[in-house]
Amino acid sequence: MRNTVELPPAEITRQIVAGNRVVLAQAITLVESQRQQDITLAHSLITRLLPHTGKAVRIGITGVPGVGKSTFIEAFGMYLTQQQKKIAVLAVDPSSSKTKGSILGDKTRMENLARNPNAFIRPTPTGNTLGGVADRTRETILLCEAAGFDVIIIETVGVGQSEITVRSMVDFFMLLMLAGAGDELQGIKKGIMEMADAIVITKCDGENKKAANLAQANYRHALHLVSATDSGWQPQVLTSSALENTGVKETWKVITDYLEFTQANGYFNRNRQWQNRSWFYESIQSQLLQKIALSEKVNANLARFESEIMNNTLLPSEAARQLLTEVFRGSI
């Protein structure tokens, strides 16, 4: 198989739409590249694929480390494939801030799902991106949709950094929680609860069942105290056990009920439109930062500004204003 970069764009498009996993994986690698020529090719490719996108259900799943995200996703994914669904899992791994490396171990944690012919697992590092998602997650979602996947799951790092980023690219946002790990209602931020369309209490089995059922009741009560959702949907609280394979079918039922509800009241389409607008403004910020970083004017003045800031002779905000004024003088 030739490398995707070597194939004509029309052929790459045809191969992805036909469901070629090798070409899809190579296209995702292309999208993740920071090289300018790769970025240009990736944008051209996704533009060609746009007519084939938008038909999948996009699900975001987050939760604290140790909650069993990968275990839950494997059980959930296996159930969906039994329902004749093709699923793609974009499992985002934390990167080292020093080495930029990532463990990328999600395939080993989801062995059965990784071997399933109707599933595609793509682990990617977060790089410098906050919010527990990779820098090019949105583009990767579109590629997977064009390849014919029915359900796309984004598994986030779950480190509590701006989960709103995840919410802004999915249709359904799921928060996984553990019972019996201290004061559950104090263990998460109200803001994350307000974004969740469903909370799933994991590991509801054995001696933990009683604690899980109690946590379910507590969360149901707590959800009545948070602000109403934009969609008008009442978030649901479920229990699940990957060990006993319970709660998975019920979780999918909640998701399909949500989709029917939001499609009927028009929120589903409005949400997708808002997400595209959000993507647009995020891209402006990202590309402005890249442009500034590559600017000779910036590099020429950066050391001086840093020195003045560190010596408390110049406010950081004023330094930023002066720098931007210099960069864009006469260009905007």
In a domain, 135, yes or no: yes
pLDDT higher for 66 or 257?
257
Does the pLDDT of residue 331 top 70, yes or no? no
Mean pLDDT for the stretch of residues 241-263: 95
Q: State whether 15 and 117 are in the same domain.
A: no
Confidence band, pLDDT 50/70/90 cuts, at residue 107: low
Mean pLDDT for the stretch of residues 45-66: 92
Q: State whether 91 and 205 are in the same domain.
A: yes
Mean pLDDT for the stretch of residues 284-312: 84
Find the CATH number of the domain harbouring 33: 1.20.5.170
List own/partner pairs for 268-276 with CB under 8 A and 24 or more apart. Answer: 268/171, 271/171, 271/230, 271/231, 272/54, 272/171, 275/168, 275/169
The DSSP-derived string for 62-74 is EE-TTS-HHHHHH
Q: What is the pLDDT of residue 126?
A: 53
% pLDDT > 70, the chain? 83
* Range among 15-19, 160-164, 241-245, 282-286 with highest mean pLDDT value: 15-19
Q: What is the pLDDT of residue 101?
A: 39
CA 57 to CA 83: how far, in whole Å?
Answer: 14
Q: What is the pLDDT of residue 49?
A: 96
Q: State whether 42 and 74 are in the same domain.
A: no
Cα torsion angle, 66, 80, 234, 205, sign:
negative
Q: State whether 66 and 116 are in the same domain.
A: yes
Confidence band, pLDDT 50/70/90 cuts, at residue 130: very low
Mean pLDDT for the stretch of residues 135-147: 91
Q: State whether 152 and 248 are in the same domain.
A: yes
CA 184 to CA 200: how far, in whole Å?
Answer: 13
Confidence band, pLDDT 50/70/90 cuts, at residue 250: very high
* Angle, vertex CA 256, rays to CA 152 and CA 105, nearest 5: 30
Q: State whether 43 and 60 are in the same domain.
A: no
pLDDT in tens, 97-106: 343 434 444 5
In a domain, 271, yes or no: no
Q: State whether 197 and 106 are in the same domain.
A: yes
Question: Given 9, 32, 51, which residue is the final one in a domain?
Answer: 51
CA 305 to CA 165: how far, in whole Å?
Answer: 31
Domain count along the chain? 3
Total-model pTM: 0.86
Q: What is the pLDDT of residue 3?
A: 61
Mean pLDDT for the stretch of residues 169-188: 74
Structure-token pair, residue 223 = 């959800």
Question: Given 13, 36, 51, which residue is the final one in a domain?
Answer: 51
In a domain, 170, yes or no: yes
Does the pLDDT of residue 267 top 90, yes or no? yes
In a domain, 272, yes or no: no
Q: State whether 41 and 146 are in the same domain.
A: no
Question: Given 238, 265, 292, which residue is the final one in a domain?
Answer: 265
Q: State whether 204 and 317 are in the same domain.
A: no
Find the CATH number of the domain harbouring 116: 3.40.50.300
Other residues' Cβ atoms within 10 Å of the Cβ of residue 209: 16
Q: State whether 318 and 190 are in the same domain.
A: no
In a domain, 94, yes or no: yes
Confidence band, pLDDT 50/70/90 cuts, at residue 270: very high
Mean pLDDT for the stretch of residues 147-168: 80
In a domain, 195, yes or no: yes
Which structural domain range is residue 103 located in?
A: 53-265
E-assigned strand segments in the chain: 57-63, 87-93, 119-125, 151-155, 172-178, 198-202, 236-239
Mean pLDDT for the stretch of residues 78-99: 78
